[in-house]
Structure 1
Amino acid sequence: MSPNTSSFAVLAIAVILLLMLIGFIYIWIFIAKKSNLHRALNMRRKKQKQKRSRSSRFMDPLLKAAKYARPTAGKYTFFTNKSQEERLLVIAGSPFGLTHDLFHSLRFVLGLGLLMYSVIYVLLGLPFGLIGMLFLPMLGYFGPLVWLNLKAKERQELISAAMPDFLDTVSVTLSAGVGIDQALHQVTKQFDGPLIEEIEQFNREVDLGVPRKTAYMNLLARNKSKELEMLVNSLIQGQTLGVPVSTTFRLQAEDLRAMRGFKAKEKAAKASPQITLITTFFVAPAVFVLIIGLLFLNVVYNPGAFGLDILFD
């Protein structure tokens, strides 16, 4: 077998695996989003006992290393946008108690750690070492930004999904003659999730004497959920115009349920084209390259079957 043929076979296999990997990653992301949506729509009211997840066990040593390296990491702030990252941390609910300094230190630790790993990989003479040295440090440094964006998006989706049930419960409580502050305090004891965390923060601010309108604006500043923004704007307008709060909550719940139905239909309509697109541009080319590669190898090793003996003499 000639060196050119071996190189072609290795390259073909690498291309096939890469295309199929990309295709399966996109399909997995789609399935994960669908699963998250169903989980959000079926949120249970009973508070579950918090269990130490695998992600927590994975993050604990990284956070310890990040705290240790924080003074050093603070000296190297390239490719960082402090205001944007702080905003993302707030929207994501500060996962694992991350502050901006700690988050930047975490990026620094991951980037440096993967750089050291790639250097050892190259020194051992393993394949694709130079490519790993180029991409692994970038993955370690910029990967946490992608993760933080996904966490922020997921949290806002959970808030939006919990809004209709929350509004219905508050509306019923208000109809019983309970004040808005007492109703919010009671409802937070019955629900769980990111939305309740934000409402509890709002309640704490009001209890500490922060003006209600200021607390509303702070609630908007911490979130990007369109549904929550609609509710807060309606409450501010209702407070100005004297509209009963119970009416505002009831109308908002009806509007959000209708909007959620439209969004579900829209996502269902987009699902089939997305799968078709992934299959067309990733899975199908991988299969095509596989067939062509096998045909080429068959011609090389068995030219007589195709009447091509003269070309390989």
Structure 2
Amino acid sequence: MVDILIIAGIVAVGAALIIVAVRQMNQSQAISKRLDQYTDVSLSLEELELQQPFRERVLIPMFRALLNTLGRFGLKQNQERLRMNLQLAGNPGNISPTMFIGLRMTLAIALMILVMFLVIGRMPFMQALMGMLIAAAIGYILPGIWLDRKIKERKKNILKALPDALDLLCISVEAGLAFDLALQRVAQKWDNELSREFQRVLQDIRLGRTRREALRDLSARTGVDDVQTFVSAVIQADQLGVSMSKILRIQSDQLRVRRRQRAEEAAQKAPVKMLIPMVFLIFPALFVVILGPAVPRIMSALGAMGG
């Protein structure tokens, strides 16, 4: 009996020591985590790289290297125009012109191989070859269509955000802020294509470029007529010493009028755009509902007349 009590006591003491040790470890880990939040932990480049997900560490670099490799074997024409189009689209995914050409070739080859597996042995050779060539052409054209859509969407977003941004810019300048500080306030207010372009203008100015050069680059990167008008007015006001608040107020009023005119133009185009679905979709359904019950009677009457 005494031996059993001694063993039970030893087990209880051991369990208590284990529980105390685990609690102390948890407390030390919690304290270290709290300290890590308020102190800078120096990590090596390898540790920082390993913290990134597998997709960013391996898959994306491999895909970009593949695009660069294929892009070197593609067509080298209109590189400058392609670079300008990528810039107008906002450089989606930081794609270079070589990578974009590689993307076209990759998609063309992938679609051609897919069609080859689908049609080989099921169609004559010439028809299968024609289908493969058509698939390759479609794969080469699709990235260009995607890029054009990105350019139009970005211009539309910039055009939509410009009047409100100019209103805030005008109010900030009239309140006593300098133009650069007012531009910074507008850039911090929203998170859209226009605000990111304003932030880039401010970064160019901080890096030593003049305001005129930074604004002209803004006009070239956006490709929007209203932005070009705004940039020209600001540059002229800066050169001639005209009050910046008056120029911004005039630009804001003009953009507001243009936005109203664009809305009225879109409203005028709506009936014309509605005509096609009405003729080909709504009217046939109405004819079926209205004339459907009369069709059997007409057929029976024609049959009786023929008999």
Give the TM-score, by structure 1 length. Answer: 0.67
Higher relative contact order (CA 8 A, sep 6+): 1
Between the aligned partners of 1:278 and 1:67, the Cα distance in structure 2 is 46
Counterpart selection for 1:123 from 120, 124, 128: 120
Report the AA paired with residue 71 of structure 1. T
Quick check: 2:187–2:198 contact (8 Å CA) kept in 1?
A: yes
Quick check: 1:114–1:140 contact (8 Å CA) kept in 2?
A: yes
Q: Deviations over 1:129-177 (max 9, x none)?
A: 6664232211111110111011011101111110111011111111111
Q: Give the 3 Å change call, closer, same or farther, for CA 306–135 of structure 1 in structure 2.
A: farther
SS where residue 177 of structure 2 aligns? coil
Quick check: 1:92–1:155 contact (8 Å CA) kept in 2?
A: yes
Quick check: 1:66–1:106 contact (8 Å CA) kept in 2?
A: no
Q: Deviations over 1:244-292 (max 9, x none)?
A: 1111111111111110111111011112213324665xx47xx7xxx9x
Q: Give the 3 Å change call, closer, same or farther, for CA 250–117 of structure 1 in structure 2.
A: same
1:255 equivalent to 2:254? Answer yes
Mark the runs of 5 or more structure 1 residues left unpaired by the alignment: 1-56, 292-304, 308-313
Between the aligned partners of 2:135 and 2:274, the Cα distance in structure 1 is 29
Quick check: 2:70–2:105 contact (8 Å CA) kept in 1?
A: no
Tell me the CA shift for residue 87 of structure 1: 0.7
Q: Give the 3 Å change call, closer, same or farther, for CA 255–212 of structure 1 in structure 2.
A: same
Q: Give the 3 Å change call, closer, same or farther, for CA 276–67 of structure 1 in structure 2.
A: farther
Quick check: 1:66–1:109 contact (8 Å CA) kept in 2?
A: no
Report the AA paired with residue 135 of structure 2. L
Quick check: 1:121–1:129 contact (8 Å CA) kept in 2?
A: no
Between the aligned partners of 1:255 and 1:306, the Cα distance in structure 2 is 70
Q: Deviations over 1:3-37 (max 9, x none)?
A: xxxxxxxxxxxxxxxxxxxxxxxxxxxxxxxxxxx
- Which is greater in Rg? 2
Identical positions, percent = 29
Quick check: 1:114–1:136 contact (8 Å CA) kept in 2?
A: yes
Tell me the CA shift for residue 210 of structure 1: 0.6
Between the aligned partners of 1:174 and 1:141, the Cα distance in structure 2 is 49
Between the aligned partners of 1:61 and 1:158, the Cα distance in structure 2 is 31
Equivalent position of 2:41 in the other structure = none
Q: Give the 3 Å change call, closer, same or farther, for CA 72–130 of structure 1 in structure 2.
A: closer
Runs of 4+ in 1 over 6 A off after TM superposition: 60-63
Equivalent position of 2:222 in the other structure = 223
Equivalent position of 1:82 in the other structure = 79
Equivalent position of 1:67 in the other structure = 65
SS where residue 93 of structure 2 aligns? helix
Q: Give the 3 Å change call, closer, same or farther, for CA 159–268 of structure 1 in structure 2.
A: same
Equivalent position of 2:186 in the other structure = 187
Between the aligned partners of 2:60 and 2:101, the Cα distance in structure 1 is 12
Equivalent position of 2:132 in the other structure = 133
Quick check: 1:92–1:148 contact (8 Å CA) kept in 2?
A: yes
Between the aligned partners of 1:202 and 1:237, the Cα distance in structure 2 is 17
Equivalent position of 1:94 in the other structure = 91
